[in-house]
A and B are shown apart, each in its own frame.
Chain A
Amino acid sequence: MLKYILKRLALLVPVIIGVSVLVFLVMHVFTTDPASIILGQHATAEQVEKLREELGLNKPLYVQYFMFMKGVLHGNFGNSLITKTSVTNEILSRFPATIELALVAIIIASIFGILMGILSAVKQNSIVDYISMFVSLIGVSMPIFWLGLMLIVLFSVKLHLLPVSGRITIGMEPIHITGLYLIDSLVSGNMAAFKDSLKHLILPSIALASYSTAIIARMTRSTMLEIIQQDYIRTARAKGLFEKTVILKHALRNALIPITTVIGLQLGSLLGGAVLTETVFSWPGVGSYTIDAILKSDYPVVQGAVMIFATVFVLVNLVVDLLYAYLDPRIKYS
């Protein structure tokens, strides 16, 4: 197992380097000159050239790339062209909001997706199965941002049950420990903050979880159907075990291996969906920060955010691979 882990870690390095090259090329080769953006449209050519020299933009591309990587390795993505603040600090301050949203969404998606998938498989070709799979199909077909808007209309505007936007009511923020408001408020015993942040989390996490719930439900159903046909399940039934024991103890346990992989992969793609959800709900995470930066041509921010998202995505996929190898011993030896 250790050899497999080391092998996968070794493969991670060229992928991260490749990601950094792609981000660098896209941001440095295809964009408008940052010096022109900083100085504005009324700047003279001499002023632009002087700033380009100060920023190192007139150096060869490979030198600029090494400067960029040196910064990345020190956790320095430069300063925002608009706010002049450190990109790294801004992203780090917003990251817990995105992580909290993604984690709650994946928990919702996992619980409901697996439940729906098991029900569908056990009641195959019944009305429960058809409804469940139809709902899943709608889930993968419906835009997340549209679902978010519809949830706001129903639960916030019409029924006044839940807040429209934001992460917490101003002034109710809990003491900063992890940056995750649910955990921080529980740890500090601030139940008012816990309830308030939970209320703010419900709609965005449901919207974000919708697509993943559908994917997990479909995967669980097809995996469970394959496993239910196996001989050992027939044997378990023949031994007289309760159906619940057969399904939950024998079938689901083996089905969890591929389902875990899908859940892990969905966590990575949730980061992409978080961009849309954060925009709809004005959620103060990295996603909405990135979109603002793109619309304002603030390239250091876009560069830093894309690099961080991609690195997290790669690391999550690596953890999923290792978990899969741990759960299924056959993988280690392939």
Chain B
Amino acid sequence: MYADIELNTNVNEKKTRYKLFKNVLNMLIKNKAALIGLIIIFLLIIVALFGKFFMPYDPYVGELSQSLQAPSAAHIFGTDEQGRDILSRIIDGTKISLRVGVTSVAVALSIGTVIGSIAGYYGGKIDMLLMRIMDIILAFPSLLLAIAFMSVLGRGIDKAVIAISIVTIPEYARIVRGCILTVKENEYVQAARVIGNKDRTIIFKHILPNVMSPIIVRATLGISTAILETSSLGFLGLGVQPPLAEWGSMLGAGRGYFYNAPHIVLFPGIAITITVLAFNLFGDGLRDALDPKLRK
């Protein structure tokens, strides 16, 4: 009998989620700005995956005699201080930026979800302790804390991912905790408890799938913040190290030459702006599509 109840509950939840997904998709398609963001993201993914087929030159090989060349037919975005083609380096940098952005959000979201779920579901002293720890991390300006972590972890892509993840865990923990608090006394949760489900099953199988909307929105917007922070760390010389073609480190390396060759800092900055803009447009559209008031 209990298995039948659980089966019916699962089927109803799946139907509701499919209906919600269809409604959200319809609203997203109608939102031109979100659609533009999504198309740009799609193109960025294509460039990240198949970039080597678009690069006119090797991004890591340059001729010093061709250094700091202005944009021309041979080098559409010009060359950098080592004579490397800037367009090729920007294409190569796409996969680095997306990788760090998505990975750091994935890590922060996973850990934040566990912390927020435990704090929200169990409440009491566990909730107080976990949220005070999150408050302490949130007491720092996030970029400053990421810089401080980089100063001790060392430099490199993986260290940048760790630093950016750590400073954003509290945001996801708070959102998940808030979501769990709003639904943990709902009837379907009580029903799941009554039929003998373990706490872990209730949280991850019943509660979280029904409160994913704000979490998904925050994660999408979080990717844009992570990409900005990665480029900031790269610019300061702390993040991804040369010769890797990370956009922020390209700007940092180009700082000494931009008086005479402004193109060296123009195009990497445009790349960062377009990428972040795309995720912001899509994230804003997703938030509107998932807002129950707007859906009505």
Q: In residues 269-308 of chain A, which contact B (Cβ within 8 Å)? A: 269, 271-273, 275-276, 279-280, 290-291, 294-295, 297, 299, 302, 306
- Nearest chain A CB to B147 CB, angstrom units: 6
Looking at chain B's contact residues, the main secondary structure is: helix
- Please state if A275 and B280 are interface contacts (CB–CB under 8 Å): no
A137 proximal to B (CB < 8 A): yes
Separation of A141 and B280 alpha carbons in the complex (Å):
7
Residues of A within 8 A of B77 (CB): none
Residues of A within 8 A of B248 (CB): 143
Residues of A within 8 A of B152 (CB): 26-27, 30-31
Q: In residues 133-164 of chain B, which contact A (Cβ within 8 Å)? A: 133, 135-137, 139-145, 147-153
B28 proximal to A (CB < 8 A): no
A145 proximal to B (CB < 8 A): yes
A71 proximal to B (CB < 8 A): no
Task: With A137-B281, A140-B280 as known contacts, state yes or no: A146 contacts B151, CB within 8 Å.
Answer: no
- Nearest chain B CB to A320 CB, angstrom units: 13
Scan B238-269; emit 1 where CB is below 8 A from any A CB, else 0. Answer: 10000000001001000100110010011011
Task: With A143-B228, A309-B140 as known contacts, state yes or no: A137 contacts B280, CB within 8 Å.
Answer: yes
- Please state if B141 and A141 are interface contacts (CB–CB under 8 Å): no
- Nearest chain A CB to B205 CB, angstrom units: 34
Minimum CB distance partner of B255 in chain A: A149
Number of interface residues of B (CB under 8 A): 44
Separation of A152 and B236 alpha carbons in the complex (Å):
18
Residues of A within 8 A of B140 (CB): 19, 22, 306, 309-310, 313
Most buried by B among A15, A22, A143: A143
Separation of A149 and B255 alpha carbons in the complex (Å):
8
Minimum CB distance partner of B269 in chain A: A146
Minimum CB distance partner of A20 in chain B: B136
Seed contacts A140-B280, A146-B273, A269-B141; 14 additional CB < 8 Å A-B pairs: A15-B139, A18-B133, A19-B140, A22-B137, A26-B152, A137-B284, A153-B259, A268-B141, A272-B141, A276-B143, A294-B148, A310-B141, A313-B139, A317-B139
Please list the 8 inter-chain residue pairs (A to B) with the smallest Cβ-Cβ separation, ordered nearest first: A272-B141, A146-B269, A18-B136, A141-B277, A272-B143, A141-B276, A30-B152, A294-B151
Choose one: B251, B273, B281; the contact of A142 (CB below 8 Å): B273
- Please state if B269 and A150 are interface contacts (CB–CB under 8 Å): yes
The chain A residues found within 8 Å of chain B, CB to CB, are: 14-15, 18-19, 21-23, 26-27, 30-31, 137-138, 140-143, 145-146, 149-150, 152-153, 157, 268-269, 271-273, 275-276, 279-280, 290-291, 294-295, 297, 299, 302, 306, 309-310, 313-314, 317
Minimum CB distance partner of B263 in chain A: A153
- Nearest chain B CB to A17 CB, angstrom units: 9
- Please state if A294 and B238 are interface contacts (CB–CB under 8 Å): yes
Choose one: B148, B149, B224, B262; the contact of A141 (CB below 8 Å): B224
Residues of B within 8 A of A152 (CB): 258
Residues of A within 8 A of B295 (CB): none
Separation of A291 and B232 alpha carbons in the complex (Å):
12
Minimum CB distance partner of A31 in chain B: B152
